[in-house]
Amino acid sequence: MAATYFLGVFNDNFFKQAALLLAVLSGLSGLQGKATMLFSLPFILFSAYGGWLADRFPKRQVIIGVKFLEGIAMLIGAYGIITLSWGWILAMVFLMGLQSTFFGPALNGSIPELYPSWYVTKANALLKLVTTAAILLGMAAAGIALDQHWLDTDIPFGRVLVSVTVLSVALAGIIAAFGIKRIENINSKSPFPWAGPIVSLQDSIKLRHDPPLLLAVIGDTYFYFLSLIAVMLINTMGVNELQMSVTATSLLAVSLMAGVCIGALVAAKITSPERWSHVLGPASFGMGLCLFGAGIVAGMELDLQWVLLFVSLMGAGFCGGIFLIPLTAFIQVRPDLNKKGKVIAAANFCAFTGMLIAGSIFTLFDKNFLPSSNVFFLGIIGMISAVLFYGGHKFINSSAYDGSTGRENNV
């Protein structure tokens, strides 16, 4: 399963980063926001179906089917990259989001079925390590691949290399999926969610009956909102504002994810599904402070500007890893076995609604402010949000909230 997930995450991020960099290089930085919105849209429209499939059918079969969908998406994307046709590229981004919509509940729902609850946080940390390594390699390789000129071809060789890579990795992912361990199916009798996004919205609203789970889902949504805007800003800031190469720009995005990887390992040591909310406030403040610092550094002319940006963004990622891992573990452990897919789908619905909003906000601010200024403001948002998460932690651990109630009511 780890190999299948690694290859899928690598391919997603390799293609997405290559497409975003090509958009910026073509003077179409606003397409980053539109691509993000298209990637997020399937999660909003189809999350309920993904959760139902994960609860109703063997997760191995769902994952294999999704990997074939990824292969089709990569064929479309490779053609779009070769011809630099943004219609085809954006269509592939939508399909990439669609396959992730169905893959997420099947993967995340299988973790608590494979491991005891006390090991779930560690399993998530290791999975995050694998995921982050794939993201790091994908984002770094995208910039490096686009900078390659091995052969003198009519189509820039970097684009050819990107297309060949995504097709090869998709094929490897399909092969790896057949090696996934069979998991006994819970065979939930939940009815098919014909209303789709309306069901996802209703399931998300029902989370209010379980305040700790609601706090975890809000935190998860906040993390992806903040991190997605940060990655898009890094691309625009590096290439357009600071005139860096695509390789140097991709490495800045890599530093952010490398920090998440390190933070994930630390989170596994200091949190558990029973004790997790205490890190949210400090970690959010740390993310904000480091982004605040990155915005200041980007706006100044310094000899070590790239190094300082690398360090500050890695610091933001480190705090992000500490913030995210306990949330992921709690969302997986908290629901009953026959509701895990449903709850994870609701969490995905919320997270990608946040990402859809993030794409809209990026498009708006990209037209009116320098990227470094936007990073600065993003840092302020992170520090202010820390107060809210600290308040949430105090509430669910106070006498005003009876922790013995709520779980049986979740979704």
pLDDT in tens, 34-83: 888 888 888 888 877 887 887 788 778 888 888 998 899 999 999 999 99
What are the tens digits of pLDDT across the range 83-106? 999 999 999 989 988 888 888 777
End-to-end CA distance of the chain: 28
User: For all residues of the chain together, what is the average pLDDT?
Assistant: 86
Q: What is the pLDDT of residue 184?
A: 63
Q: Which of 177, 50, 150 is nearest to 101 (CA)?
A: 50
Tokens in use for 31? 């397409």
- Taken as a whole, the chain contains a residue count of 411
User: How far are the Cα atoms of 143, 225, 237, 243, 256 from residue 249, in angstroms, in the given order?
Assistant: 8, 21, 8, 9, 11
Query: What is the DSSP secondary structure assignment for residue 190, as one 8-state letter?
Result: P
What are the tens digits of pLDDT across the range 242-251? 999 888 888 8
What are the tens digits of pLDDT across the range 180-196? 777 666 555 677 777 77
Tell whether the model's pLDDT for residue 395 goes beyond 80.
yes
Tell whether the model's pLDDT for residue 117 goes beyond 60.
yes
Q: Say if pTM beats, i.e. exceeds, 0.85.
A: no
- Could you list the beta-strand ranges (E) of 247-400: none
The class (CATH top level) of 2-181+196-409 is mainly alpha
* pLDDT bucket at 411, cuts 50 / 70 / 90: low
358-376: average pLDDT: 90
User: What is the SS3 assignment for 275?
Assistant: strand
Q: Which of 33, 330, 273, 63 is nearest to 176 (CA)?
A: 63
* pLDDT bucket at 366, cuts 50 / 70 / 90: confident
C-alpha 88/C-alpha 94 separation (Å) is 10
Question: What percentage of the chain reaches a pLDDT higher than 90?
Answer: 36
CB-based contact 355:40 (threshold 8 Å): yes
C-alpha 390/C-alpha 377 separation (Å) is 21
CB-based contact 106:62 (threshold 8 Å): yes
Query: What is the DSSP secondary structure assignment for residue 207, as one 8-state letter?
Result: G
User: How far are the Cα atoms of 45, 229, 330, 395 from residue 52, in angstroms, in the given order?
Assistant: 13, 30, 20, 32
